[in-house]
Structure 1
Amino acid sequence: MQRRHETGRPPRTRRPLPPLTYVPLSEHPLRRLPQLFAGLALYGFSLALMIRSALGLSPWTVLNEGLMRRTPLSFGTITAVVGGCVLLLWIPLRQRPKFGTVANIVVLAVASDLGLALIPDHQPLPARCCLLAAGIVLNALSIAIYVGARFGPGPRDGLMTGASAASGRSIRLIRTLIEVAVLVAGWLLGGSVGAGTVLYALSVGPITQFFLPWFAYGTRCVPRTWSTGLEREPN
């Protein structure tokens, strides 16, 4: 007999957590490549939205903006340079870049610079609040889109997983340490830290999780739920 809550309705079940491990480029490229590039382009554009809001940025964007203020390079170029430097940290961690890793660096650089060129600066506060909200939602959606294509992690995600595997520490701890260190460095360089930084940190994870089952390649083959915490691929 199905268990029910005190309200008399059956308990709500969670959506299955989609598989996000790497899938070779040769598998359904016409289905997955457009998704990868669309997600990365939207991600770059979402960064431009948050920058133009001037209400606070995500930790890595704070670092990139801080470096942009100290160099003659554009934001997109800084993003690519930082991504390349992060890749160098993969070497001692024995991480290998995938197709999606390289695409992440190139597409984000172009899309973010294009977004900054299209979105006007110095807007009134209500418009900036709208830009921030739209940027955060679009950022989370774009993560679900490009990660769901399963072409491999971006430079920063690979650093996180590689450092976790090498140290034996949890991904949660490693991610927190990296994000805090990057945020402090970006703030010291003059990057924008504000209410938007806190809002991004609190909301991007849940929104991304909400969208992931819609875009993850091979979702229909997953025999597990969000709550298990262990991934099992089908036989």
Structure 2
Amino acid sequence: MRVVERPAARLTQLVIGLVLYAASIAMLVHASLGNMPWDVLSQGIGRRLGWSLGTATIVVSLAVLVCWIPLRQRPGIGTVANVLVIGLLVDPFLALTALLGDLPLWGAILMTAGGIVVNGVATACYIGARLGPGPRDGLMTGLVARTGWRVRWVRSGIEIGVVATGWALGGTVGLGTLAYAVSIGFIVHLLLPRFTALSGPRPARTTEPVALTGR
């Protein structure tokens, strides 16, 4: 079936998804119960080099894009927007969450849970716009295509590696990291069909693996 393009709707959905994604990162970081896997790495690098989380996020994203070259992955508008919008908005959102001050345990738990839900909405919104994979998604799907390994093993291997490296560098790992890893796939699986429908009819089915990280 031919996909009817709705560029304005898709672009709007993309931007909303990326803004929400940056907000969700700030929520989990401020809660201090454990970051999302790639943010553990970005935070660790930032702490070691004296960079803000936003700067470290952009640098990590660009480094991942360099890894696309041997994998023959092609970026789209969404790929570039992912790097810039999320990276540039993380620090302002962190400044906003800092206004809340130190959170009690119950507040940190609520903010962590809220951040995971917001991230699930953001991920479904962003992927549903179908304007190009995020840097990390492209790395995963590229490795799957080149190696023939299963998506789950490639994704798990990448995320375990970045979490371990980020933790060693000083990034925050905790129950929030585990809760995110366990729940995000289910949330995105539940919401993705709805957000894909908003941006227009779905593309024809393919055997290409679908990433669920949104980045």
- Please say whether Structure 1 and Structure 2 have the same fold, judged by a TM-score greater than 0.5: yes
Alpha carbons 2:6, 2:200 under 8 Å: kept: no
Distance 1:186 1:33 in 2: 32
TM-score under structure 1 length normalisation: 0.82
Match of 1:208 in 2: 188
Q: 1:97 aligned to 2:75?
A: yes
Letter in 1 for 2:163: L
Match of 1:169 in 2: 149
Letter in 1 for 2:138: G
Alpha carbons 2:19, 2:89 under 8 Å: kept: yes
Task: State the number of aligned residues.
Answer: 204
Once the two structures are superposed, what CA deviation does each residue of 1:147-187 show, in whole Å capped at 9, x if it has no partner?
00000100000000001111111111111110110010001
Normalized per residue, the structure richer in helix is 2
Equivalent residue runs for 1:38-77 within 5 Å: 38-77=16-55
Distance 2:30 2:40 in 1: 13
The more displaced of 168-177 and 215-224 is: 215-224
1:98–1:222 distance in 2 versus 1, CA, 3 Å: closer
Q: Offset at 1:122?
A: 2.1
Distance 2:204 2:60 in 1: 38
Q: Which runs of 4+ in 1 moved over 4 A?
A: 217-224
Equivalent residue runs for 1:11-30 within 5 Å: 27-30=5-8
Q: Helix, strand or coil for the counterpart of 1:57? A: coil
Q: Helix, strand or coil for the counterpart of 1:95? A: coil
Identity %: 48
Letter in 1 for 2:36: S
Match of 2:112 in 1: 132
Unaligned 5+ runs, structure 2: 209-215
Equivalent residue runs for 1:210-225 within 5 Å: 210-217=190-197, 220=201
Match of 2:14 in 1: 36
Letter in 2 for 1:203: S
Match of 1:181 in 2: 161
Alpha carbons 2:41, 2:162 under 8 Å: kept: yes
Letter in 1 for 2:119: N
Distance 1:68 1:45 in 2: 18
Alpha carbons 1:36, 1:146 under 8 Å: kept: yes
Alpha carbons 1:42, 1:111 under 8 Å: kept: no
Q: CA RMSD in A?
A: 2.1
Once the two structures are superposed, what CA deviation does each residue of 1:108-167 show, in whole Å capped at 9, x if it has no partner?
012211110101242211111111010000001100001000001000000000011111
Q: Offset at 1:75?
A: 0.6
Q: Which has the larger radius of gyration?
A: 1
Q: Offset at 1:98?
A: 0.9
Unaligned 5+ runs, structure 1: 1-22
